[in-house]
Structure 1
Amino acid sequence: MLIIDCPNCGPRPETEYGYGGQAHVAYPEDPHALTDEEWAQYLFYRDNAKGSYAERWVHSAGCRKWFNAVRDTRTYEISAVYRIGEARPDNRKGA
Structure 2
Amino acid sequence: MRITCPICGERDRREFYYVGDAVALSRPDPDDGDIAWDDYVHNRDNPAGVTRDLWYHEGGCGAWLVVTRNTVTHEVLQTELASDAKEAMA
Q: TM-score range with shorter-chain normalisation?
A: 0.7 to 0.9
Q: Give the match for residue 3 of structure 1.
A: 2
Deviation of 1:49 after TM superposition, in Å, equals 0.7
Instruction: Work out which structure has the larger RCO, using CA pairs closer than 8 Å and 6 or more positions apart in sequence.
Output: 2
Distance change >3 Å, CA 27–CA 65, structure 1 → 2? farther
Aligned with 1:42: secondary structure?
Answer: helix
Measure the CA separation in 2 of the matches of 1:6 and 1:73.
Answer: 19
The answer to whether 1:20 aligns with 2:35 is no
Return 5+ residue gaps in structure 2 as ranges: none
Whichever structure has more helix as a proportion of its residues is 2
Letter in 2 for 1:14: R
Cα drift, residue 31 of structure 1: 4.7
User: Which residue is 2:64 aligned to?
Assistant: 66
Q: Is the Cα contact below 8 Å between 2:3 and 2:10 reproduced in 1?
A: yes
**What TM-score results when the alignment is normalised by the length of structure 1?**
0.75
The SS at the match of 1:39 is helix
Alpha-carbon offset, residue 34 of structure 1: 3.1
RMSD between aligned residues: 2.1
Measure the CA separation in 2 of the matches of 1:27 and 1:62. 31
Structure 1 gaps, min length 5: 90-95
- Partners of 2:53 and 2:44 in 1: how far apart? 11
Identity %: 30
User: Could you tell me how far apart the structure 2 residues matched to 1:65 and 1:32 are?
Assistant: 31
| Partner deviation per Cα, 1:38-95 (whole Å, 9 max, x = no partner) | 11221111111111011111111111122111111110001111222525x9xxxxxx
Q: Verify: 1:53 aligned to 2:54, yes or no.
A: no
Q: If the length of structure 2 is used for normalisation, what is the TM-score?
A: 0.79
